[in-house]
A and B are shown apart, each in its own frame.
Chain A
Amino acid sequence: MNWKNFFTRFGQWGMRYLPAFEKTESGRLFYIRGLRFPAWFAMAIPFMIFIIIFVEHSKELRRTISWKALACSIALFEFVLFPIEHLGINQGFWIYNRARILGIEIWDIPIEEPLIYYLFPVIMVVFLWQLLFNRFEERYICYWTSVLLLIPITIAFEYLALWMDIWSFSENASKLWGISFWGAPIEEFLFWFGAPPFVLSIYFWFERTLSKRKTND
């Protein structure tokens, strides 16, 4: 059985209604489809609610978390994501629906990304690990548990975004490997499953480095 063909056909189920792409003057692809509604901004609301509940609920979380390490992790995450996102948008890895974003852009990137999505998910990942760590006190077990718990959440997030028609993918825009699951290419999962371990690993590094410096002082 040719698995690549199987997955390609299976994945194209969600790609049957690809939009007509347009090009900006700089050659960047975009499309406009559906009612004008800032869905990408609206999707951040659950993140904000989760974070408020976490912080409000747990005094221990507020006390135990390394806020400096968290701030450094967010800064590094923004620093890494900015060029990736710029490259991704310009190369057509993913294509935004201009009807579903606010429309303000920084370096070709919709403003929702650096203001919300480089920030709140990082906080959420670290909070989740810290909550588990406060409860079980096993650094690496809590690392893997957080990462595994985030897999279904990120999958749900991807399909919610596709369902809300915030972005789309096309082989014509950028060469993809060809395996996709209900409209989401396998590369997208590579992104989703890679980001949480990256965030936690850099948080660990900053946390240990900063606490060591504090001890030395």
Chain B
Amino acid sequence: MIFKICLPFLYGIFFIIIPVYGLRTDYGWTVVICFWIPAFIFYALDRRRNKASGGIK
């Protein structure tokens, strides 16, 4: 429960708040576009592939 909900939730605070703050400057949006968005896409892709393979690594 702690690991499955609280950890992503805690990090989700950074995922949501910091990009919103960071997008206001050149430095901020550069990092958001190059790191945060690809990280989210690759993570989501892996979750999808994991689910498709029956949750087996």
Chain A interfacial positions (CB closer than 8 Å to B): 80, 84, 87-88, 91, 93, 138-141, 143-145, 147-148, 174-177, 179, 185-187, 189-191, 193-195, 197-198, 200-202, 204-205, 208
Find the B residue at minimum CB distance from A197: B39
Distance between B56 CB and nearest chain A CB, rounded to angstroms: 10
A213 CA to B38 CA, complexed, in Å: 22
A176 CA to B34 CA, complexed, in Å: 18
Count CB-based A-B contacts (< 8 Å).
Answer: 105
A-B contact pairs, 28 of them (CB 8 A): A80-B34, A93-B27, A138-B3, A144-B7, A148-B7, A176-B25, A177-B24, A177-B28, A186-B18, A186-B21, A187-B25, A187-B31, A190-B18, A190-B36, A191-B35, A194-B31, A194-B32, A195-B35, A197-B35, A197-B36, A198-B35, A198-B38, A198-B42, A200-B43, A201-B38, A204-B42, A205-B42, A205-B46
Distance between B42 CB and nearest chain A CB, rounded to angstroms: 4
Which of A93, A138, A179 has most B Cβ within 10 Å?
A93
Q: How large is the interface on B (under 10, 10 to 19, 20 to 34, 35 or more residues)?
A: 20 to 34
Distance between A65 CB and nearest chain B CB, rounded to angstroms: 13
Which of B14, B21, B35, B36 has most A Cβ within 10 Å?
B35
B34 near A205: Cβ-Cβ < 8 Å: no
- A contact patch SS: helix
Contact with A along B36-57 (1 / 0, CB 8 A): 1011111101110110000001
Chain A residues contacting B22 (CB-CB under 8 Å) are: 177, 186-187, 190
A36 CA to B34 CA, complexed, in Å: 33
A93-B30, A145-B7 known; 5 new pairs, CB 8 Å cut-off, are: A88-B27, A185-B27, A186-B28, A194-B39, A198-B35
Which of A145, A197, A205 has most B Cβ within 10 Å?
A197
B35 near A194: Cβ-Cβ < 8 Å: yes
Chain A residues contacting B49 (CB-CB under 8 Å) are: 208
Distance between A7 CB and nearest chain B CB, rounded to angstroms: 10
Distance between B28 CB and nearest chain A CB, rounded to angstroms: 5
- Answer whether A148 and B11 are a contact pair too, CB < 8 Å, given A191-B35, A204-B43: yes
